[in-house]
Amino acid sequence: MSLDIQKIRKDFPILNQQIYKKPLVYFDNGATTQKPQLVIDEEVKIYSEENSNIHRGVHYLSEQLTQRYEDARKVVRKFINAKHDHEVIFTSGTTESINTIAFSFGEKYVNEGDEIIISTLEHHANIVPWQILCERKNAVLKIIPINENGELILEEYEKLISSKTKIVAVNHVSNALGTINDIKRIIEIAHKRDIPVLIDGAQSVQHGNVDVKELDCDFYVFSGHKIYGPNGIGVLYGKEKWLNEMPPFMTGGEMIKKVSFEKTTFNELPLKFEAGTPNYVAAIGLAKAIEYIQNVGLKNIAEYEKELLDYATKKLESIEGLKIIGTAQNKISIISFILEDIHNYDAGMVIDKMGIAVRTGHHCAEPLMDSLNIEGTIRASFSFYNTKEEINSLYDALLTVKQMFG
């Protein structure tokens, strides 16, 4: 089935506007995606008609909204095909999810001299929490290297694993280069040695089906705002066996069973990891966003975005002096590039004046940029609401940049 993109674009009100008197071309979907009207409407409806703190009241509004929050959890569970609802923890986003795991898993399982494996491709959110843990526990961080295409070198990964490895944490898709990592293989290799694996799915869930049961990953995390949902909501999926053993990260209301001044006992999953008032409005909005993309069809989304990626790659490659950074065989609809002798920031400023939103810089992946010996890139990240005509506009803008600075 082919998608009716013009019809889809009407669902996203923000796209229908001019920036500097030019039609907005939004190619910063890797940073955050835009929201369909039905997600925006859902939030307005909750605040206008249904708002009440959940879990705490016996009154009508509270009970109704508690049910809707728990229904949202079920939508997420089905979406990623988790075994149990309580394996889905709502957080504020990928960053909080990873911090929660790094702290709690680290507290329980990581000791002096132990090792944690991450990769060169990681976002700072999947580096810094592990670094802090290593400092706290006197553990060692090991890094999977990449080849010249920006793909993880799995033979080197295997060599990094030792009897001291406690966890492997890698992204599914690199936000900076678009590389899709062979996480199935990465997980299999770790599991042969009984080592759990965390997958940072911030750049993958919005582009195709994710099945945590099939992948057999131990943890999978993502952010609502990158999957057409609201800000301030994210997901931490964890296998029950780990989450039950791990101590809570944040403490306070909701996550307790019984509190006295002498001692506190903790609640069952998932509430053990949801201290305080959760962002129930955003959780329900996230469920709406998931239902929306399920209606569009994840297979359709993946196919169309691949078409956009191939089209843009061909077009951009034809520009003299433009170098694509990240040429993995398996890529998501993200293109990072640099222009010979032109600073990314200068190029970004000119592209912006054409009404085109791209991102320039290190994309929160400074160690990756260091390893590539570059300061940063210009990144265009496409969504299923983008069009080939918009890619043509980027192409034209890049020719203008070259004329101005070349």
Which stretches of the chain bind ligand PMP, using CB under 6 A? 93-95, 123, 125-126, 171, 175, 200, 202-203, 223, 364
Collapsing DSSP to helix, strand or coil, 269 comes out as: coil
Exposed, middle or buried by CB within 10 Å (0-12, 13-18, 19+), for 255?
A: buried
Cα dihedral 377, 206, 234, 357 sign: positive
Find the shortest distance in angstroms from Cβ 98 to ligand PMP: 7
Question: Distance (Å, rounded) from C-alpha 170 to C-alpha 347?
Answer: 31
Residue number, 181 or 393, with CB nearest to ligand PMP: 181
Find the shortest distance in angstroms from Cβ 174 to ligand PMP: 7
Give yes or no for a contact between 266 and 255, defined as CB atoms under 8 angstroms apart: yes
Six-digit token pair at 284?
């329900």
Find the shortest distance in angstroms from Cβ 232 to ligand PMP: 9
Q: Which of 364, 366, 367, 395 is catalytic?
A: 364
Q: In this structure, how many other beta carbons lie within 10 angstroms of the beta carbon of residue 56?
A: 12
Residue number, 175 or 393, with CB nearest to ligand PMP: 175
Find the shortest distance in angstroms from Cβ 29 to ligand PMP: 11
Residue number, 141 or 256, with CB nearest to ligand PMP: 141
Give yes or no for a contact between 211 and 80, defined as CB atoms under 8 angstroms apart: yes
Name which of 43, 111, 100 is nearest 286 in CA terms.
43
Exposed, middle or buried by CB within 10 Å (0-12, 13-18, 19+), for 265?
A: exposed
Phi, psi of 361 (to 5 degrees): 130, -155
373: region left, alpha or beta (phi > 0 left; psi from -120 to 50 alpha): left
217 in catalytic set: no
Question: Distance (Å, rounded) from C-alpha 162 to C-alpha 249?
Answer: 27
Residue number, 285 or 393, with CB nearest to ligand PMP: 285
Strand partners, 93: none
Residue number, 93 or 355, with CB nearest to ligand PMP: 93
Find the shortest distance in angstroms from Cβ 165 to ligand PMP: 21
Find the shortest distance in angstroms from Cβ 97 to ligand PMP: 8
Six-digit token pair at 340?
């010979």
Q: In this structure, how many other beta carbons lie within 10 angstroms of the beta carbon of residue 141?
A: 15
Which residue reads 């069952």 in tokens?
Answer: 268
Six-digit token pair at 138?
């006197």
Residue number, 223 or 360, with CB nearest to ligand PMP: 223
- Catalytic residue positions? 364
